[in-house]
Every structure is written in structure tokens, then in C-alpha cells.
């Protein structure tokens, strides 16, 4: 492999963007979106649609997303498809240059939208080769950079990538969680009408802990029949109980669950001691597992996409799910207090648990994302039924 200096010397004409890996590998391309540089972990997402939802999912904080589908950005952007106002991915890598939008719902171009959000895009990359590298060697730390003049200090970018500590041991939930509580008012979306308002009738009350939540989770809880109050990640047990919830929801989010769990797991244990119904998704699922005595591990490449098959162990039904996680519950070391309920058919990793003797369960995937059929919406209905 060539060193950083010789790679820099061979910069192709017209290159305005670059991805520099911590091992010194340099990948040249065309920059778009914001200018500057950003550091993060490079991952890949296999979904064919939903790039705007992906880029606004806070679970992608401190990550650079490689889209394996070659045509990204060609349907433009709009305000309705945002998943959160919090920070998500710091940048993205695509194969083809972004074309003009072709979609009646579009209200702007992907490149302009990325620039407005301070996110860097890089096109002209062999995303198949990069994805194979991640699958074989794990998700690398890297710097993505964009300069319209094509001026890059490659040795400095290599050093920044090498100096970045990586996601393991990093608590990112505190950076993307909302700073204050709120009553969730949004309902489900319909074409031509936008988002409905949440009904204000008497409903079971869910307090949702925000570790980097996607808004569609709250909409699905409302659709299933709940009233939702959202609280920050660092909310105390006493503050949650003061809201007199019928149940507590634990959201998705970025970073290492063990790190965030240092202040969240004691709260979850307190909720379990009081036999409150609990439902966790992704990071929330992982911290529920830790609270019940399980452990989590860093995955080699993670699972990110919209077509992941998951087997439900109670009856053998297979759900097609959306996933976005780089950590997983270790299903080789589950304590007697935890029952495994779902597993990935890709690699057998854990995708769901239930805490024995409690009304508490979690899934590793995203039932609110509904890739095609709404295979997993029953989980929201099951949780709300527990509250009655």
C-alpha cells in the first residue's frame, strides 16, 4: 500500500474531495455539500431509498456513511423526511455524482441541503471496493474532506484520523439528546396532508428517554394508542416517576452502550424494580440488556440497511427489518434473567430480548422504519397493550 505522501502526489486532476483512512489509504473523489473536513468511523448502508432519513438519524453521529446503492440524491430533499433536528452522520460517500432532483416532493437539492447542515459529501468513489474492505477489515476511522480548490494536507489528515479514539467507549447520546422535555404532538404522515396531530384523548402515558431518537418512533407509539412525553437522556429515575408513566420507552442512539449506560443503566434498573413496562430499540435495547445482566460487544462491520431478515424465535416468523448498529448484545453470554427473542439470519447475532418475570423487552432493529411491509409494527401494539 502506498504511503500518504505518494498517494497525495498522484492526486487526479479535478479531485475536490478525499477520504483518508487511519492506515494512510487515500481515496480521491469529487466533494459536494459542505466544505472543510470531518472525522468519524466509516460504515456502509445497503438501503436503496431513504438517504435523507439516514443522514438525519442521530444514531449515525460521528460516522461517515458509505451508500452501496449508486444513485443517491436523485430525488432531492424535503422537510417532511427529516428524522431528527439533532446531528446525524458527519458525511457521506456515494458512487455517482448527484443529479438534479426528479421527484414531485423535492424542495431542494441534496448537495445544497448537506451544505446547509454542515455535512460533507464525496462522490466518484468505488463504493463496492470500500464496502468489501469494511466487511473484511472492520469499520475504519477516517477523515472526509472537501475543498473546491483541491488543496489538502494529506499527512495532517492521516494524523487526525489516527488520533481520533473511535466509537468504542464513547458516550454520544449526551450530544444528540434533546436538552429539555416535551409533550410529543406529531402523528402519522399521509400524502398531501403531511403529519397529523397527536390525539389528546385519554391514552396510556409513555415517557420516552431520548438517546438520539428518530421522530418516527414517537409517531408509531402515538399510532399504536399511546400519549408520549419525551425526556433527555440524563433524566433521573425520580423525574421519570414524577410524570406518573404507564410505561417507559428507551430510544435508539449513537455511541457505545456501555459508556452511555454508566448513567442510564441505574435508571433502567430502578424502573425494572418497580415493574414498569419497558420497550427498548437499538441503543435502548442494548442498555436494557446491560441492566438485566447481559453484555455488549463492538461488531466488526455492524448492520445498516433496510432488508435485514430477523427470525422471531417464539414462532419462527421472519421479519424484514431496518437496522443501524455497530454494537450488539452478546448472545453467547446471556444471563438466566434474559430470554433471547429474535436473531439475525445474516450472522446469528442477537436482535431481541425479554427480561424474565418483567414486562420489559427490546429489539436491536428499527420497527418504526417499515422497509416495505410493516412487519414489526406489532411491537408498538404489544407495548401499548402492556400499559392498559
Domain with 364 in it: what CATH number? Answer: 3.40.50.880
CA angle 371/372/378 to nearest 5° reads 75
Write out the H or E segment, with its range, that includes residue 195.
strand 194-197
- % of the chain beyond a pLDDT of 90: 90
d(CA 248, CA 115): 37
Residue 7 clears pLDDT 50, i.e. is over it: no
Same structural domain, 115 and 234: no
Q: What is the pLDDT of residue 293?
A: 98
Domain boundary, last residue among 107, 135, 163: 163
Residue 366 designated active-site: yes
- Indicate whether 356 belongs to any domain: yes
Same domain, 51 and 194: no
Same domain, 189 and 262: yes
What is the rounded CA–CA span in Å between residue 297 and residue 134?
Answer: 17
Query: Confidence class of residue 4 from pLDDT cuts 50, 70 and 90?
Result: very low
Number of structural domains found in the chain: 2
Is the pLDDT higher at 129 or at 2? 129
Residue 226 counted as domain residue? yes
Q: 168 in a domain, yes or no? A: no
Based on the fold, state whether residues 79 and 144 are members of the same structural domain.
yes
Residue 115 resides in a domain: yes
Q: Is residue 354 part of a domain?
A: yes
Catalytic pick among 41, 53, 83, 368? 368
Find out whether 17 and 28 touch, Cβ atoms under 8 Å.
Answer: yes
pLDDT greater than 80 at residue 200? no
Percent of the chain with pLDDT over 70: 98
Of the residues 163, 184, 208, the one at which a domain ends: 163
Domain membership flag for residue 50: yes
Please indicate, yes or no, if residue 211 is contained in any of the structural domains: yes
Which residue is it, cell 466509516? Answer: 42
Same structural domain for residues 204 and 145? Answer: no
Domain of residue 122: give its range.
4-163
Q: Which of 30, 282, 285, 319 is catalytic?
A: 282
156 and 186 fall within a common domain:
no
The pLDDT of residue 205 is 97
User: 122-164 pLDDT, tens per residue?
Assistant: 999 999 999 999 999 999 999 999 999 999 999 999 999 999 9
Confirm whether 195 is domain-assigned.
Answer: yes
Active site residue 368: yes
Same domain, residue pair 348 and 223: yes
Can you give the CATH number for the domain in which 107 is found?
3.50.30.20
Are 172 and 118 a contacting pair, CB within 8 Å? no
Name which of 255, 252, 260 is nearest 327 in CA terms. 255
Same domain, 138 and 229: no
List the end-to-end C-alpha distance of the chain, in Å, as a whole number: 61
Asked if 97 and 189 sit in the same domain, the reply is: no
267 shares its domain with 204: yes
Which of 144, 163, 182 is the C-terminal boundary of a domain? 163
Give this prediction's pTM. Answer: 0.95
For 344-385, write each residue's pLDDT tens digit. Answer: 999 999 999 999 999 999 999 999 998 877 999 999 999 999
Identify whether the C-beta of residue 363 lies closer than 8 Å to the C-beta of residue 351.
yes
Which pLDDT value is given to residue 239?
A: 98
For cell 407509539, the residue is 221
Same domain, 197 and 337: yes
Please indicate, yes or no, whether residues 147 and 179 belong to a single structural domain of this protein: no
Amino acid at each position: 500500500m502506498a504511503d500518504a505522501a505518494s498517494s497525495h502526489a498522484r492526486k487526479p486532476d479535478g479531485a475536490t474531495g478525499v477520504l483518508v483512512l487511519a492506515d494512510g489509504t487515500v481515496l480521491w473523489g469529487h466533494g459536494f455539500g459542505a466544505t472543510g473536513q470531518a472525522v468519524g468511523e466509516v460504515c456502509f448502508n445497503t438501503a436503496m431509498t431513504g438517504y435523507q432519513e439516514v443522514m438525519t438519524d442521530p444514531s449515525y453521529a460521528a460516522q461517515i456513511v458509505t451508500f452501496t446503492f449508486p444513485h443517491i440524491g436523485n430525488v432531492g430533499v424535503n422537510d417532511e423526511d427529516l428524522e431528527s433536528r439533532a446531528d446525524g452522520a458527519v458525511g457521506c460517500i456515494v458512487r455517482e455524482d448527484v443529479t438534479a432532483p426528479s421527484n414531485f416532493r423535492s424542495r431542494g437539492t441534496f448537495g445544497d441541503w448537506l451544505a446547509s447542515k454542515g455535512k460533507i459529501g464525496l462522490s466518484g468513489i468505488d463504493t463496492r471496493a470500500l464496502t468489501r474492505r469494511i466487511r473484511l477489515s472492520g469499520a475504519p476511522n477516517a477523515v472526509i474532506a472537501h475543498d473546491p480548490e483541491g488543496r489538502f494536507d494529506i499527512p495532517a489528515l492521516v494524523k487526525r484520523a489516527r488520533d481520533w479514539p473511535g466509537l468504542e467507549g464513547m458516550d454520544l447520546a449526551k450530544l444528540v439528546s434533546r436538552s429539555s422535555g416535551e409533550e410529543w404532538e406529531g402523528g402519522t404522515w399521509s400524502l398531501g396532508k403531511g403529519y397529523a396531530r397527536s390525539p389528546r384523548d385519554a391514552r396510556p402515558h409513555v415517557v420516552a428517554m431520548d438517546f438520539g431518537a428518530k421522530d418516527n418512533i414517537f409517531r408509531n407509539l402515538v399510532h399504536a394508542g399511546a400519549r408520549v412525553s419525551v425526556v433527555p437522556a440524563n433524566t433521573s429515575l425520580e423525574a421519570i416517576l414524577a410524570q406518573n408513566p404507564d410505561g417507559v420507552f428507551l430510544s435508539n442512539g449513537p455511541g457505545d452502550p456501555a459508556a452511555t449506560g454508566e448513567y442510564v443503566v441505574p435508571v433502567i434498573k430502578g424502573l425494572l424494580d418497580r415493574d414498569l413496562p419497558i420497550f427498548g430499540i437499538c441503543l435502548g435495547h442494548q442498555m436494557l440488556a446491560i441492566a438485566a445482566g447481559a453484555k455488549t460487544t463492538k461488531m466488526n462491520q455492524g448492520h445498516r440497511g433496510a432488508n435485514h431478515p430477523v427470525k422471531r424465535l417464539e414462532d419462527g416468523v421472519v421479519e424484514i427489518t431496518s437496522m443501524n448498529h455497530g454494537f450488539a448484545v452478546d448472545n453467547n453470554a446471556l444471563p438466566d434473567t434474559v430470554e433471547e427473542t429474535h436473531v439475525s439470519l445474516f450472522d446469528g447475532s442477537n436482535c431481541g430480548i425479554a427480561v424474565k418475570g418483567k414486562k420489559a423487552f427490546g429489539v436491536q432493529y428499527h420497527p418504526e422504519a417499515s422497509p416495505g411491509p410493516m412487519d414489526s409494527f406489532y411491537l408498538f401494539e404489544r407495548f401499548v397493550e402492556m400499559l392498559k
